[in-house]
A and B are shown apart, each in its own frame.
Chain A
Amino acid sequence: MKNKKGSMGLAILSTIAVFVIGLMFVNFIIPEVTNFRINLGCTDIASVSDGTKILCLFGDATVPYFILGVISLAVGAITSRLRL
């Protein structure tokens, strides 16, 4: 059975790995989000249609949600290790 010290080390490593890998993928998403916003005209969101406004909000929320997901996975990696 593992002790908490060993679990802590693995947890931290897991967290860092998840965090780094996750943020690497963010760099692929950011240009796509930028092109998405430019093509839909979200830079002047007040002048687009209502449906386009909603689409812009979804696009704006993509990266924050992705980062939140990465953080959640990282935290989950720590907590799951600590429970062992």
Chain B
Amino acid sequence: MIFLTVVIGAASWALLASETAGGFSSTGDVSSLTSIITSKVQYGYVERICMIRGDGSGSSDYQVNITQGGETLASKIVVVTATGTHCAIFTQNDYNLNNPIDEGNFTILTNRLNGTIAIQRAPSASYSGSLFDIPTQPFPATVNPAINFTQINLTGLSINLLSPNNDTSFTNPSIDFVNNVSDPEAVSIANVTINVYFTNGTLIFSETNSSGIEGNYSWNSNFPDGNYRWNVTAFDGDSDFVDSQTRTFTVDSNAPSVDLFTPNETFNYLKEGGNLFLTGFANDTNLDSCWYDYNGTNTTFSCASTTLFNETISQATNNDLSLIVYANDSSGNLDSEEISWNYKIFENSRTFNATAYETSSENYIINLSSNSSLTSVILQYDNTEYTTTQSGNIYTRNLNLDSTGNKTFRWRFAYASETIYSDNSSQQVNPIQLGLCNATLTVPYINFSFKDEDDLSDLNATIPTSTFVYYLGDGTANKTLTFVNNTENPSYDFCFNPGNQSLNINPVVQYAATDYPQRIYDPSVTTYTNSTTETTLYLLSELDGIFVTYQVLNTVDQAIEGAQVTLTRTISGETVTVANGLTGADGTITFWLNPDFEHQLTISKSGFDTFTTGQFPTQTSYTILLQGAVSTVGEDFTKGINTFIYPQDRELFNDTSYNFIFNLTSSFWEIDSFGFSLRLSNGTIVGTGISTTTGSGANFNYDVGNQSIIYMDYYWVINGNFTNSSTYWVVTNTELTSWSIKTFFEDLVIVLDSEVFGLDNFGRLVITFLVLFISVGIFSYKFGFTSPIPLSILTFTIVYFLDRVVGLIPAIRGIDYLVTYVAGLIVAVAIISEVAR
């Protein structure tokens, strides 16, 4: 290995490597290429690539490339004109920083970079002489092999950047730079320079410290917003220098800006869980992240500068009507903005069964938050409207479902003069079916079997006719099964679908067998489940029984229809029902009974005392009188009722709120409930009140606005009987009464009270006296009044008008209307004295 030291200037360059013979694939005489310097590229240092020409003539260009990983980092042309040394000197500015390479251990700007040199020369098929006798040819043509080289720092100085750290973001434009320069080889420090560049390479700050101290060097400057890179260069006394690694920093003092658009309106209708759309902009050069704080929860969402964001938010409760959006940038600057919205009607919840069955009784409940502008809530179910019952914020409606299918429903709200609708919901109403068990009806609810009442033997019987009225709800919606079977069978199973519901059935079953007279099984409505009810129906042979008719009357000999008559017998220690049914319109029912055995007779009817007795039914008819309520006609449900209605004045005034009250007391009847509804002249119901406690009035507060008349339809309920009546108030529009004489006297009193022109109480009394004197004087002169009675009456009339009506006469000695009382006393004395005379 040949080492050659080449000196340029005052610096000393050390050769670390050179070419090896045969290292170039050429036919030239490589032995003359004696001074190819090979070294490694180190960023921040000055590299020289030299070629020393020995012999030869002519001029050739050589392109020297510093490459790494196939990327050309820097490139220069070396012109070799004659023998001697020809060098290409590379500084850090020669490197293409727009294409930094970061592979493995190599990073430009911060670390030492190992690279290769490739010397390119024009290709030639053959040449003789030295390597440099090559005519200029177009490039590129790489000569093998690539040459590695390194270069050492000959200054001996060392730079350690202390602050700021690499890739730091600042919000404050004032930046402090601190680095430590050491001189371990004691070459002396000439100066230390800091250079700060924009990312485009423009030098914007450079300052040199020539103190020559070994230690920390500090600089400070203000930088506008932007991205920067910086490094420090230290020169020694020999003009050798060393560059530090290059670091970057960012200045961003401007906070992002957040502008929100929605949701910012008053929604007609909102509900918990409903979707809202948050839209807006978050702008910043270095926008980092965005999030919003809603209902105590922070949620991050994607945002980009100048790009509209649209986030879907789920509405929380009716009190959560605002949120704050935050945005920050990479420097930590933060901005926020709050947005809020409101509602007219807020649905807190709704309750209903998504799946129901026909004939069931279903509740539809909605919980709302609103204000007094919400005047009615109507349920729209399957295109039919139903009123709702209000209890606080909850509106309820019960429906008996009488059809199947997918039913859509919603609520319609009357809010001030607007009509607002809720969201739709749907309910699947499934059919029900009761019938004789088969392949599709498989869950038995009722089983009928038959026995002989006498010997308890099993029988086969027919069902000549039967009806089963069945329903799941309260019976308002129901279905009927009519079953007939004239073939004698030992039992009949009736199944129901769906098999998981409790079913109410009112069966009427006529059953008979050969030689056994027909009996009727007619119990009251009974609830059945999928726990099969085993019912044994008893038949009595035609040889063992008689027909017995029971007639049920009340105490005034009126037939009672619908009385439940049941006869039981004890058979083998078990009480069995041998006959039961309801009396008809004539109050009678007939059974086939065995007169040889004691039966327990029970007759019951709502509103009557239950009748029970034991008997041997030997007679063909019995008449039973039930004690209890006697049906009467024309009860007076106003007896003992005192009603109180407020306001008591028949005249109301426009744009005024009144508390309408209907109260009643009862000294005779027990009141179930009472109440009223307020009605406008067009029939619109604007409010209702209800109470169940006598003495505690039903009330409703209402602003009469510009109505001309308000009606109150009030009622009370006694034992289910409804009694009602109406009253009304006339609403006067005070705007139309400003011209009345009443207004004149009202204004006159106000003017007098304000002591216009200094007119105090004495002045008012003087005026009163003058009016009296002149009026009475004129009347007396004109019409010849001389008697004290007409004069005193006239005086009293004028005094009363001026005192009570106009209010002109002030209180005397603290006593209001004293003059009126005195005048009245004078009239009384005058009349008495005249009468006495």
Contact = CB atoms under 8 A, between A and B. Distances in A.
The reply to whether chain A is a binding partner of chain B is: yes
Interface of A: 29-30, 33-34, 37, 42-43, 45-46, 50, 53-54, 56-57, 60-64
Given A50-B756, A53-B754, A54-B756, A33 B739 contact: yes
A43 B738 contact: yes
A57 B741 CA distance: 10
Contacts of A62: 739
Given A30-B739, A37-B738, A45-B751, 4 more contacts: A34-B739, A43-B738, A50-B757, A61-B741
22 contacts: A34-B735, A34-B739, A46-B750, A46-B754, A50-B756, A53-B750, A53-B751, A53-B754, A53-B756, A54-B751, A56-B751, A57-B744, A57-B751, A60-B743, A60-B744, A60-B747, A61-B741, A62-B739, A63-B740, A63-B741, A64-B740, A64-B741
Contacts of B740: 63-64
B754 A34 contact: no
A8 B751 CA distance: 45
Nearest 9 pairs between A and B by C-beta?
Answer: A60-B744, A64-B741, A63-B739, A53-B751, A33-B739, A50-B756, A30-B739, A45-B747, A45-B750
Interface string B734-777: 01101111011001101100101100000000000000000000
B717 to A, nearest CB: 47
Contacts of A46: 750, 754
A57 B739 contact: no
A47 B751 CA distance: 10
Nearest to B749: A45
Q: Classify the interface of chain B: helix, strand, loop or mixed.
A: helix
A50 B756 CA distance: 6
Interface string B717-745: 00000000000000000011011110110
A34 B738 contact: yes
B222 to A, nearest CB: 63
Nearest to B748: A57
Contacts of B735: 34
A72 B743 CA distance: 22
B740, B743, B748, B756 interface centre (most CB from chain A within 10 Å): B743
Nearest to B756: A50
Interface residues of B, number: 15
Nearest to A42: B747
Nearest to B745: A60
Q: Classify the interface of chain A: helix, strand, loop or mixed.
A: helix
Nearest to B744: A60
A53 B746 CA distance: 12
Contacts of A60: 739, 741, 743-744, 747-748
Nearest to A34: B738
B177 to A, nearest CB: 73
A54 B744 CA distance: 11
B811 to A, nearest CB: 20
Contact of A57 (B738, B747, B757): B747
B370 to A, nearest CB: 34
A34 B738 CA distance: 6
Interface in B175-193: none
Contacts of B754: 46, 50, 53
A46 B740 CA distance: 18
Nearest to A35: B738
Interface in B595-643: none
Nearest to A46: B750
Contacts of B748: 57, 60
Nearest to A32: B739
A44 to B, nearest CB: 10
Contacts of A57: 744, 747-748, 751
Interface in B377-424: none
Contacts of B751: 45, 53-54, 56-57
A76 to B, nearest CB: 16
Nearest to B741: A64
A57 B808 CA distance: 15
B740, B744, B757 interface centre (most CB from chain A within 10 Å): B744
Contacts of B750: 45-46, 53
A59 to B, nearest CB: 9
A3 B77 CA distance: 147
